[in-house]
A and B are shown apart, each in its own frame.
Chain A
Amino acid sequence: MDIVQKLEILSDAAKYDVACTSSGVQRSGKRGQLGAASNAGCCHSFTEDGRCISLLKVLMTNVCVYDCAYCVNRKSNSDVVRTSFTPRELADLTIGFYRRNYIEGLFLSSGVIKDADTTTELMTATLRILREEYGFRGYIHAKAVPGAALELIEQLGLLADRLSVNLELPSSESLALLCPDKTRQSVIAPMKLISESISESVELRALMRKRTTVYLSKGRPRRAARAFAPAGQSTQMIIGATPETDWQILGLAASLYRTMRLKRVFFSAYLPVVRDARLPQTDHVPLDREHRLYQADWLLRFYGFDVSEIIDAAHPHLCTDVDPKANWALNNLDLFPVDVNTCAYEMLLRVPGIGVRGAKLIMRARRQTTLGEAELRKLGVAYKRARYFITCKGRYMGQGVSFDQESLHARLASPIDGGAHGRRADKTIEGQMSLFDGVDAAGSPLLSAPAPQTHPAPELRSKAGEVL
């Protein structure tokens, strides 16, 4: 099998991993060495589903001894061609892609070949070729395999920029149900180790920089050549495969940010790729739910929200028709309207329609100007949404709509641009009649009754159920 075929198979198997970020570490280039990394990361291409490609995202191998129900590489799935890269092949491919500016670096994940330790050793070997032999200074994201020896994970962390351990499912019951070979402990233990090693490494390097201690030349500790996973760690959860609520998921995410100091928690809407009786029997992909969860996640990380402000046990699911920030604002109308010209930055961030960029621009502009409607529109905040929650120059900007929860909710929930916004695939409403419906099926669509098409006969439905 040639390298292109291998790449095709092993990247196809890796694509369901949603994490593809190259951010979080700043490493300048060095003469004579290939590569650099920038704090903001860089997306080099975009797939036809609009997701960014910033790293060469592949599996080391798609051979796997585990049998996780949702995974395309599960042991019992015989439809997949199994193959694997040698460390050398993968390192050469990474360098080849990097030199052409196709990628920012490598995202290395793997199926579990033989056992977790062997797999981790293979990955370490690849990273070692890249870092030590080729002197590669680009970005590397490596996946820690649950169940691997902690020393091996430590080695991996010294070579990679970001490590991640996939939580996959938000509760231990679900994990036991769908991933019989993994336990919660086997996922949490490496996560904990990584978080401890990161903070240890940060502290150590800070101390080394300060030079507060004077060493005799022999006793001087050697400066650690590389920081341990300087871009931190992340994790991923599958949404919609198991019955957990948004409240549980966000609570878990918030506690991971707090206790494990994760950089990112990724949510991946469950896609049916393999059929299994334990999985939901539907083709619906909960993209909307994933989107709302990401919005809530952004509020946690960039907008200074606490998870209890976004969601509570009484309403365990995020509101579907307005975003979480608007929902919070609607439930806390006593805090609004705020004056954009005087209120604190933290409060500006909480106004629906004003984001981090908008709030910073407002802070910058209002030192020298009193902002009114025209200025706000020019600065690029979503004025149409923000106006119900602000005053400028002593005037409330949302005139014409009564300042109560129902009418504001109706305003904020109305589709953006009258529904012209968003992806095309979502705009075809099920059951919507089209001019060409039934033209092929029945000779004269206007005369034949359209009802049977939208409501299939009951016996048809049960048949489909049996097949599944």
Chain B
Amino acid sequence: MSTHSATDIFDEVAYIHDGSPEGMLTCIFEAYARHEDPAEVVSATSYQPQLLQRAVEVPTHPAHAARVSAGIRQRLGAFTQRQVMKCTLSGRPDAGTVLYRFIRFAYDGAKRRDCASCPYSAACSGRSCQRSQMAPVNDIAHPRVKPFHDAVRSVDNECEKIRQFARFQHLKDEEREVWFARINPKDAVVPLVLGHFIERFSVQPFILYDEVHGMAGIWDGKQRFLVDAEDDALTLPEVCASEVLMQDAWKAFYRSLSVTARYNPELRQRFMPKRFWKNLTEMQDGAPGLKAY
């Protein structure tokens, strides 16, 4: 914290957190606790110092983050809380600022539109609720809500991309067996998509490893774990014999399925952005089917 005389010369304050969802929520807690209105809430890695802006590092406090989360659920409903959680996982540098501004706006208006008195609020997702139609989260054309809505939507889209493009490899040695997928999403979506993969692959122990955020979702056949993992800390078994055959079969299938008369690589790239190609089995052999006009 700066001294009194130092604060006077600054117009604005920026809160800096450690980049975790809890850190972001702690900043929101601090803004209310200190009666300040930060112009920016950013992670230490994406912060750019500005003239006339005082930077305050906010140490992460999980209990405070939990209080913010619980408060949002109580005041704004479960649906909004879920959206806020998604926003905290966003990889956009301005996600914290967007979230903070939205929460200020929502809390200011929450008294006349809250779900707190609703008897169904605990079980309500808010999607089809008539009462919550006037909730601040639905005021999507508002300049405070629209950026929040966009951030949440881009996290949702990234989840879908991972559900589409995660590719598992069968790794096996004498005592261990695991299905391993390496992904590189923009947002830290592993906690959001892990349930999807557990639902369909409950029979196989798997690791969903996010190499960008150094995070892995693990399913051991009975329980799920979310762990921090760095690349060099991974010791994995060798790929099993059938894996190579299956990858070859998949590549052959991919190649033979395209129709030359309809050749349209721009369309493919729009649906399957290039940043995912490095972890896609079928795109390993130097992007098949790319020809020059």
Contact = CB atoms under 8 A, between A and B. Distances in A.
Residue with the highest number of chain A CB atoms closer than 10 Å, among B249, B254, B261: B249
Interface in A39-53: 42-53
Interface stretch (A310-318, A362-370, A394-402): A362-370
B254 A50 contact: no
B256 A12 contact: yes
A44 B164 contact: yes
A8 interface: yes
Interface in B251-266: 252-266
B167 A102 contact: yes
Contacts of B166: 101
Contacts of A375: 141
Interface residues of B, number: 60
A369 B141 contact: yes
B263 A425 contact: yes
Contact of B272 (A5, A16, A45, A100): A45
A36 B271 CA distance: 23
A35 to B, nearest CB: 5
B139 A368 contact: yes
A29 interface: yes
B133 interface: yes
Contacts of B140: 361, 364-365, 379
A11 B168 contact: no
B288 interface: yes
Contacts of A30: 202
B271 A50 contact: yes
B258 A15 contact: yes
A49 B268 contact: yes
B37 to A, nearest CB: 23
Interface in A326-369: 361, 364-365, 367-369
A3 B250 CA distance: 11
Given A4-B245, A50-B267, A428 B253 contact: no
B201 interface: yes
Given A42-B164, A101-B181, A49 B264 contact: yes
B252 A4 contact: yes
B200 A97 contact: no
Nearest to A427: B293
Contacts of B142: 368-369
Contacts of A56: 253
A114 to B, nearest CB: 26
B265 A48 contact: yes
Nearest to A97: B250
B258 A47 contact: yes
B203 interface: yes
A292 interface: no
B179 interface: yes
Nearest to B146: A378
Nearest to A30: B202
B111 interface: no
B266 A4 contact: no
A287 B204 CA distance: 43
Contacts of B268: 46-50
Nearest to A5: B252
Residue with the highest number of chain A CB atoms closer than 10 Å, among B164, B204, B271: B164
A210 interface: no
A456 B84 CA distance: 66
B141 A379 contact: yes
B279 to A, nearest CB: 11
B232 interface: no
A53 B138 contact: no
B33 interface: no
A46 B141 contact: no
Given A45-B280, A46-B271, A3 B257 contact: no
A35 B265 contact: no
A93 interface: yes
A318 B177 CA distance: 57
Contact of B293 (A3, A50, A428): A428
A375 B167 CA distance: 40
A464 B40 CA distance: 70
A50 B264 contact: yes
B262 A34 contact: no
Contact of B246 (A36, A53, A100): A100
B253 A11 contact: yes
B79 interface: no
Given A99-B170, A100-B169, A423-B264, 7 more contacts: A46-B271, A48-B263, A50-B262, A50-B264, A50-B270, A424-B266, A428-B293
Interface of A: 3-5, 7-9, 11-12, 15-16, 28-36, 42-53, 56-57, 93, 96-97, 99-102, 137-138, 271, 285, 287, 361, 364-365, 367-369, 371, 375, 378-379, 423-425, 428
14 contacts: A11-B252, A15-B259, A42-B164, A46-B267, A47-B254, A48-B268, A50-B262, A50-B268, A99-B168, A100-B281, A138-B200, A365-B141, A367-B133, A424-B264
